[in-house]
């Protein structure tokens, strides 16, 4: 016999285990908040901008068309060079960092807008001052080294990395994590509620008994306890005829 469940029964399951659903949802949000504020290490980001722009020559018409496109295409090459040992080894030595080149590379991001001659070097670090120092040192070292590496002088430091008075970490985001915890907790608790209801094979209503035995209910014998005039369901009386 095919079993179906109505929308009313769905809400009935949720209402029945509402306390459990609320408890698990709140607990998940609290756990997410505790982990975000007390467990995860705050990560700060500092960025510097560099301009790829060859100094204008006497033949400005050739420069305007060809050189700009060349500079834009070079940004992809510069992305690789910035993260190479040729640059980062000197950055590590200047700042006396304990990180290896591989570890430092993971915390560096180089990005640029489409068809833009400006690209941004961003550095993430648990220490905001360290992030600022690394970003600015990378820019200085890269500007110096690129002259030797590619025999060109077309990089200018457009904006240095600055440190605000009260820097805010970019991650973790406690509010977002708590919101995710609420959603996950709600989904998990509702799933548990329906799982418990599915595993509960006790008979609670006349309808369930009729569907199970395929017999009509002829009457219900109720029990009234002392001091309580509300009938309490005790037994079902079954029959084969109406």
pLDDT in tens, 60-86: 454 455 666 777 777 888 889 999 999
Looking at residue 1, what is its pLDDT?
Answer: 40
pLDDT score of 12: 84
Supply the pLDDT for residue 231: 54
Strand-strand pairing, 155-159 and 44-52 = antiparallel
Least confident of 4-13, 35-44, 76-85, 118-127: 4-13
Q: Which tens digits make up the pLDDT trace of 144-183?
A: 999 898 888 888 999 999 988 888 899 999 999 999 999 9
Share of the chain above pLDDT 70, in %: 78
Site of tokens 């769905």: 10
- Nearest C-alpha neighbor of 222 from the set 230, 210, 213: 230
Burial label, 113 (beta-carbon count in 10 A; 0-12, 13-18, 19+): exposed
**Percent of the chain as helix, strand, coil, to the nearest 5:** 55, 20, 30
- Tokens 């690394």 locate to 134
Q: Provide the mean pLDDT of the chain.
A: 83
Sign of CA dihedral 212, 213, 219, 221: negative
Sheet holding 118-125, edge to edge: 108-112, 118-125, 44-52, 155-159
Domains of the chain: 1-40+172-201 (no CATH), 44-159 (3.30.70.1130), 203-242 (no CATH)
Give this prediction's pTM: 0.69
The more confidently predicted of residues 224 and 120 is 120
Tokens of 37: 């504020």
**Residue 129 — very low, low, confident or very high, per pLDDT cuts 50/70/90?**
very high
Q: Count CB neighbours of 210 within 10 A.
A: 14
């Amino acid at each position: 016999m095919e079993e179906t469940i109505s929308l009313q029964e769905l809400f009935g399951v949720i209402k029945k285990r509402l306390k459990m659903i609320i408890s698990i949802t709140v607990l998940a949000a609290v756990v997410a908040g505790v982990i975000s504020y007390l467990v995860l290490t705050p990560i700060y980001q500092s960025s510097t901008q560099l301009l790829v722009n060859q100094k204008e020559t006497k033949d400005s018409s050739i420069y305007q068309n060809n050189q700009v496109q060349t500079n834009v295409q070079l940004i992809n090459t510069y992305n690789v060079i910035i993260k190479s040992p040729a640059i980062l080894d000197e950055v590590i030595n200047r700042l006396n960092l304990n990180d290896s080149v591989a570890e430092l590379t993971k915390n560096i991001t180089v990005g640029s807008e489409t068809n833009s001659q400006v690209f941004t070097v961003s550095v993430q670090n648990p220490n905001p001052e360290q992030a600022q120092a690394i970003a600015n040192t990378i820019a200085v070292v890269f500007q110096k080294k690129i002259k030797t590496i590619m025999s060109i002088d077309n990089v200018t430091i457009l904006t240095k990395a600055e440190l605000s008075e009260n820097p805010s970490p970019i991650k973790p985001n406690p509010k977002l994590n708590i919101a995710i915890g609420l959603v996950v907790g709600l989904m998990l608790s509702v799933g548990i509620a329906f799982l418990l209801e599915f595993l509960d094979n006790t008979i609670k209503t006349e309808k369930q008994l009729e569907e199970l035995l395929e017999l009509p209910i002829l009457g219900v014998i109720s029990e009234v306890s002392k001091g309580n005039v509300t009938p309490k369901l005790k037994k079902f009386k079954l029959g084969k005829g109406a």
